[in-house]
Amino acid sequence: MLVDMTNWVRPDPDAAFRRAVPAGRAPARDWLRRLDAWWVHGSPRAVRSAVRGTAALLLPVECVCCRRPDAVVCGRCARALRTACLRPRRVEHRAEALPLNPGNEPMPVIAAGSYEHELAAVVLAYKNHQMPALAGMLVPPLARAVKSALDTLAEPGAPVVLVPVPTRLQARNRRGYFPVGLLLGRLRRAGVLPEGVRVARLVRYRAARQFTAAQKGKGRRARGAVRNSMCARRRRTLDRLAGRGARVLLIDDVLTTGSTLAEAQRALAEAGLPACGAVVLAATPAPDEKRGVRSTR
């Protein structure tokens, strides 16, 4: 008796690489195709995983939070991180340099969690220790905070733009990636953002030369390290968004004094589209909060 096996056989993952190429055309592509096919083939994959296993023996990995061996973030710390970020919170009272709204209130900021314990360790490793792979752990907390901001800060029905706060070119060159942009890109690709919400890099740091020119003639106080260091980009998109009544949410990784957010807000307001709020991954705990935590323990 013949049994139809097609339902049990998984589609061949290498099939795409075995597509027939017209003979005599693009030999270089043919060679690359073979290399690709070889690379994803079972046996080299086994060799690579063996090499990785040996490398883990020679260069042991350890948890970035608790230093336990064998995982970049161990199960216990991953669970603790998840629990710490379950409830996004308003944190604008913690930062004294935030811009003021017309009502003289600081710009509302929502944080996924406090910059302490596991969240601080993972954010630090992600940003400063060349571990972009940790983005996967930080996307869900950010998604939760963005959702909370969309529910409470944005007007229903109005289009919303998520604008990452830029990093300086120097820092970006050193890292080789843009931490906040990478997180937002993954968030967008995950397909969890509601309809009408888009991501756009509308603010950038001025080049050093422009920065010096912009600082000229300013008083000493106005010449802070951050002031006038950013400007808006993609003016046409900005004008179009302003015309449609879009609301802007700034996205940053860590909130300390709020001066970076203030500078990004200044650049956006100058271009005619001020942000209605901001979302950060983590906010440094206020001094009184720290004391409160300690006394309850």
Residues of this chain that bind Zn ion (CB under 5 A): 63, 65-66, 74, 77
Q: Minimum distance from CB of 128 to Zn ion (Å)?
A: 18
Q: Residue 87 gets which letter from DSSP?
A: S
Q: Minimum distance from CB of 139 to Zn ion (Å)?
A: 19
Q: Minimum distance from CB of 62 to Zn ion (Å)?
A: 8
Q: Which two tokens stand for residue 57?
A: 């023996």
For Zn ion, the closer of residues 74 and 146 by Cβ is 74
Q: Which two tokens stand for residue 155?
A: 């007007």
For Zn ion, the closer of residues 74 and 281 by Cβ is 74
Q: Minimum distance from CB of 69 to Zn ion (Å)?
A: 10
For Zn ion, the closer of residues 63 and 197 by Cβ is 63
Q: Minimum distance from CB of 135 to Zn ion (Å)?
A: 18
For Zn ion, the closer of residues 63 and 153 by Cβ is 63
Chain centre to alpha carbon of residue 202? 15
Q: Minimum distance from CB of 67 to Zn ion (Å)?
A: 7
Q: Which two tokens stand for residue 69?
A: 């061996």
For Zn ion, the closer of residues 81 and 283 by Cβ is 81
Residue identified by tokens 């970006």 is 172
Q: Minimum distance from CB of 141 to Zn ion (Å)?
A: 17
For Zn ion, the closer of residues 56 and 213 by Cβ is 56
Distance CA 215, CA 165 (A): 21
Q: Which residues pair with 163 in a beta bridge?
A: 250
Residues 6 or more apart whose Cβ sits within 8 Å of residue 157: none
Pairing relationship of beta strands 203-205 and 230-232 according to DSSP bridges = antiparallel
- Alpha helix (H) residue ranges in the chain: 27-40, 42-58, 75-84, 117-128, 135-152, 169-175, 179-189, 208-215, 235-243, 259-270, 287-296
Distance CA 18, CA 199 (A): 37
Of 94, 188, 146, the residue nearest 281 (C-alpha): 146
Q: Which amino acid is at 241?
A: L
Q: Which two tokens stand for residue 214?
A: 């912009």
For Zn ion, the closer of residues 122 and 255 by Cβ is 122
